[in-house]
Chains A and B, each alone.
Chain A
Amino acid sequence: MNLRIISTAIAAENAQETHLGVGAEGRAHHEGGFPPFQTENFAPQIVWLVVIFGVLYILMSRLALPRVGGILERRSEKIASDLEASRDMQEKAQAAAVANNETIRLRREEAQAIGREAQQSTAVETLSRRSRAEAEASEKIRAAEGRIADAKMQALANVEQIAIEAAGSIVEKLTGSKVDKDHLSAEFRNVKSS
């Protein structure tokens, strides 16, 4: 407790001393005037300014600015090349799409051609089969007609024979005498032709 009081007192004294010191310094400087206008301060500031700004200028112009400029240039180049690459890709994709469409169109045409061809060949086959079938049918019809005509002739010939025989037997019955067959048929032919 005592120690703290003593140390506080010392601190206060010190503070007063520094305060007084500052006051004295301030007064001393007031004799020289406003600090920024004190000419004795000019030389050291200019010397150090020249040295420090000179080094700064050299570091900036030789090292820092070319480096930053290089970074910016590299970045813009990278962006440009990436854009170029993406444009190429897009072009390729578009070309591929066009080729694909072309292929699809060709295949479709091919398919249509095949369909058309198939249709035509079926039509031709149908036509030939039909004509063949018709020819066969008309052949058969003609043969059948021939047979019918033969049958008719036969039938007519039979009718003549029957008529001659019937006439012979009628004459026999009526007259009781046999009539010559050849004579009868000659007579029949006379009747028929007249």
Chain B
Amino acid sequence: MTPEETVSAPNPIEQFELHRIFPLEISGIETSFTNASLYMLLAALGVVGLMVAATSRKSIVPGRMQALAEMLYEFVANMVRQTAGKEGMKFFPFVFSLFSFILIANLIGLVPYSYSVTSQIIVTFAFAALVITLVVAYGVYLNGFGFLRLFVPHGVPLPVLVVLVPIEIISFLSRPVSLSVRLFANILAGHITLAVFGGFVMMLLASGGWSLLAPVPLLAIVALYALELLVACLQAFVFSVLTCVYLNDAIHPGH
């Protein structure tokens, strides 16, 4: 085995590949159960385990897991109330499901050899599209044509509006893109970086004398891992806060 062969071995992209566990097709649409589906299921089960199983005793003085579930509940409830107001509490179950699912999926994705659901642009885009569709549908249902006031900031003189309205429209249209790409790119980049540094460790270990330097990228992985934990929580939070902000726009379009 030559060192070049070992060098080419670690592939940082390999972790994002989709493996079909049960190939399946229903009326022309591929519905194979893949590793992504498995980890979506695990994330959902994690949320259900925390929110349903841990609260089954309904005790006045909570145990550890129930306290965690209550913390999560109050955290998201406060977030929705502060960002989207009292009327926004209608969407609390939706925002809660979104936040907890993305959070648990991100955290499970950080377990070595696991799969990161949110590293797939199609998943994050599906969520973003769902959010924007909900915002537009609810905004039009609630305000009718008044929803278009969203593009006309209140109390701005007419000459400025000529410039501002197109900018507002463009920013609104770019929301689903920015929302989905932000989450996707953060998770993807983090995992690639971790894999690349892991590759450095392997390459150094296989390179004879340089193997003494192998602990250096290993320590970097530890530091990066801590950062990725932060990113996993932060991106789930950012996604949900932005969802609340957009919902607030639908409820109060006049700024």
Contacts and interface: CB of A to CB of B under 8 A. Distances in A.
A54 B144 CA distance: 28
Nearest to A19: B9
A52 B121 contact: no
A68 B30 contact: no
Contacts of B34: 41, 44-45, 48
A71 interface: yes
Contact of A64 (B20, B48, B62): B48
Contact of B52 (A19, A35, A40, A59): A59
Nearest to A42: B122
Contact of A70 (B31, B58, B188): B58
Given A40-B30, A45-B122, A59-B52, A68 B11 contact: no
Interface stretch (B69-77, B165-173, B229-237): B69-77
A60 B97 contact: yes
B52 A64 contact: yes
Contact of A69 (B29, B60, B73): B73
Nearest to A30: B13
B44 interface: yes
Contact of A67 (B58, B62, B184): B58
Contacts of B248: none
A63 B53 CA distance: 11
A36 B18 CA distance: 9
Contact of B30 (A25, A44, A59): A44
A65 to B, nearest CB: 5
Main secondary structure of the interface of B (DSSP, over half): helix
Contact of A68 (B9, B73, B94, B123): B73
Interface in B57-110: 58-60, 62, 66, 69-70, 73-74, 92-94, 96-97, 100-101
Interface stretch (A72-80, A104-112, A121-129, A130-138): A72-80
A46 interface: yes
Contacts of B59: 71
Given A49-B123, A56-B44, A63 B52 contact: yes
A22 interface: yes
Interface in A54-101: 55-57, 59-61, 63-65, 67-72, 74-75, 78
A59 B14 contact: no
A69 B96 CA distance: 13
A72 B70 contact: yes
B97 A74 contact: no
Contacts of A26: 11, 13-14
A57 B70 contact: no
B240 interface: no
Contacts of A42: 122
A55 to B, nearest CB: 7
Contacts of B250: none
B201 interface: no
Given A19-B9, A44-B30, A44-B32, A57 B18 contact: no
Q: Size range of the interface on A?
A: 35 or more
Given A35-B18, A43-B29, A56-B101, A48 B36 contact: yes
Given A42-B122, A68-B70, A78-B60, A48 B37 contact: yes
A23 interface: yes
B8 interface: yes
Given A43-B30, A44-B31, A44-B37, 9 more contacts: A46-B123, A52-B44, A53-B40, A56-B47, A56-B48, A61-B93, A64-B69, A65-B96, A68-B69
Interface of A: 16, 19, 22-23, 25-26, 29, 34-38, 40-50, 52-53, 55-57, 59-61, 63-65, 67-72, 74-75, 78
19 contacts: A22-B14, A26-B14, A29-B13, A29-B17, A35-B13, A36-B121, A40-B30, A41-B34, A43-B31, A48-B37, A56-B44, A57-B93, A61-B93, A64-B48, A68-B55, A68-B70, A71-B62, A71-B70, A72-B70
A-B CB proximity, top 6 nearest: A61-B93, A64-B51, A48-B37, A35-B16, A56-B44, A68-B73
